[in-house]
Every structure is written in structure tokens, then in C-alpha cells.
Amino acid sequence: MATAFSLGCLGIGLVLLVIAVGLRLWSLPSWPSTEATSSVPLPSDNGPRISAAARAILVGRPRRAVAAAIADLEAHDAITVRRPAKGRTPEVRIRDIGRVGADAHLLLGPYVTTGSTRPFALWAAIDMVGATLVRKGLTGPILRWPARVLIPLAVIVLILCGFVLLAIAPDPRAWVVAGACGATLAAIVVVPTRIQRPTAAAAPLLAALRPRREAVRRGDHAASAEDAVLFAGAARLRELILGPDGVTLDRLVRSADPGASRIRIVTTTIDALTSWP
């Protein structure tokens, strides 16, 4: 019986992990090849344009949308990024309000706020930018239900694995249950909490962004700060600076990151289970 429970826990944990990985891969944009979009005119300066924040959402980086908007505004001398005297959040000072677009107006307000309401305000602003992409037909709707279904299931599996682990320890089969716990925790970490997939109409925009992504990956120093925010890893972001005070892009990205909502889903699930009659 203990063996069956152990193998069952491991199987469920692996299934959840496979589903989470599949959702993560599905949430990433499909980058069209240059040949596939050669017959489609790319967006020009006189054609339809989207903001830097919208581009972050389009390439699957919504948590960097605020940082991308700030980097773009600083490059156009619309704002100045300054390091504060205390704390880790760089200050943003508007120099030319006329150059701050509608999306940036939405994002800069929550960015300068502090406290527990800031992540909610940032996500609300990012979702409003994402809604404009939906209205333009460039992306599908914002999906949150995959995480809201998978994470509570994973929490329940973790609790059951914990009971089985306590019941059979120190039996060698406990390692199987421990593996199930690890797979289930990995599923919670991997599953995307927000999915907004580009549509076929966004293929020209993605094709135009592809050379910029490859330039960042090559380490091209001519790549813009916005492109680095959109496509660079943490190591590269720590090397690049922004503003007269030399604020690193890594610091900017971290300070403007609203965070993921998976912890809130976990705590809500635990509260619901503990209050069950």
C-alpha cells in the first residue's frame, strides 16, 4: 500500500510538472522567421506603432513592461532616472510631459507608489496596456485560469505527499515521495501566472523585433536600453547603466517588477483549506 501511494504521488507530481512546462512553453511567443514575413510590410514610422510596454507584453515579458517603458522614455529625453538617497528604487523625474504616451502615463503612476498596494497597481496598469493589444487584435485574451487551477491542485498534492512522507519515513520509499514533492514544487514555480499569446496579426511586429533580440544576444553594444530590458539576462543587465547617476538596468528591472501572483494563489488556497468545515 505504501509503495502504491508513493508511486501515485510521484506520478501526479510529474504530471503536474509536465503540464506546467507545457503551459510555460505555450505562453512564449512564436518568433516568425524573416522568410515567413518577407511578404508582409513591417511597421514603419508612419504605420501602426505600439509602446515599449506593449512590446514587452508581446515578447512574453510583462513583468518588464514598466522597466521597458522607463528605458524608452529616458532614451527620448522624456524622463530622467536618478538614484535615490536611500532605498533601492530609482527615482523617475519627468522632463517633457508631452513625450510621455498614454501607456507610460498608466505605468509611471503605480511605479512611484510604495507599500503593499504597489504590485496590484502595477499589474492593473500592465493589464490595461495588455487590453489595448487585445483590442488591436495583436494578442489573444489575458489568461490566468491555468495557474489558478494548477497551483491549488499542486498545493493539495503537496499536503497529501507530506502526510504520506510522515507515515512511511524513514522507509526508503520516502525518497520517492520526496521526489514527488520536488516535482510538484517545480510545477508551482514554472507555471505562468499570466498568459497573453500573440496572434498572427502580430507576426510583422515580432519579425521587426527579432533582429533586435539577436543583437542583444550577440552582446552588441549598439543595442538600446529598451532592447536590453526586453531580451537580456540578469548578468548583462548588471553591466548596463541608465541615467546620469549610472543606475544599472538590473536595478531598474527589479524595482519595476510587480512580481508574480503565485504566492497569493498559494496562500489563498491554504486559507480556503484551513477554513474548510
Please name the amino acid found at residue 188. Answer: I
pLDDT tens digits for range 213-266: 999 988 888 789 999 999 999 888 999 998 888 889 998 998 889 888 888 898
Residue 185 clears pLDDT 90, i.e. is over it: yes
* Cβ–Cβ < 8 Å for 71, 248: no
pLDDT-derived band at 139 (thresholds 50, 70, 90) equals: very high
DSSP 242: E
Percentage of the chain modeled with pLDDT above 90: 41
Q: What pLDDT is recorded for position 84?
A: 73
Q: Determine the distance from the C-alpha atom of residue 227 to the mean position of all C-alpha atoms in its chain, rounded to a whole number.
A: 16
Cβ contacts of 25-29, under 8 Å, gap ≥ 24: 26/195, 26/197, 27/60, 27/192, 27/195, 27/197, 28/60, 29/58, 29/59, 29/60, 29/197, 29/198, 29/202, 29/206
* Cβ–Cβ < 8 Å for 70, 230: no
**Which of the residue ranges 71-75, 160-164, 217-221 has the most confident prediction, judged by mean pLDDT?**
71-75
Assessment of whether the complete model's pTM goes beyond 0.75? yes
Report the chain's mean pLDDT, rounded to a whole number: 85
pLDDT tens digits for range 74-128: 988 888 888 876 666 788 888 888 888 888 888 887 776 666 678 888 899 999 9
- Residue 60: all three cell numbers together: 512574453
| More reliable by pLDDT, 61 or 109 | 61
Classify residue 200 as exposed, middle or buried by CB count within 10 Å of its CB (0-12, 13-18, 19+): exposed
* Cβ–Cβ < 8 Å for 50, 212: no
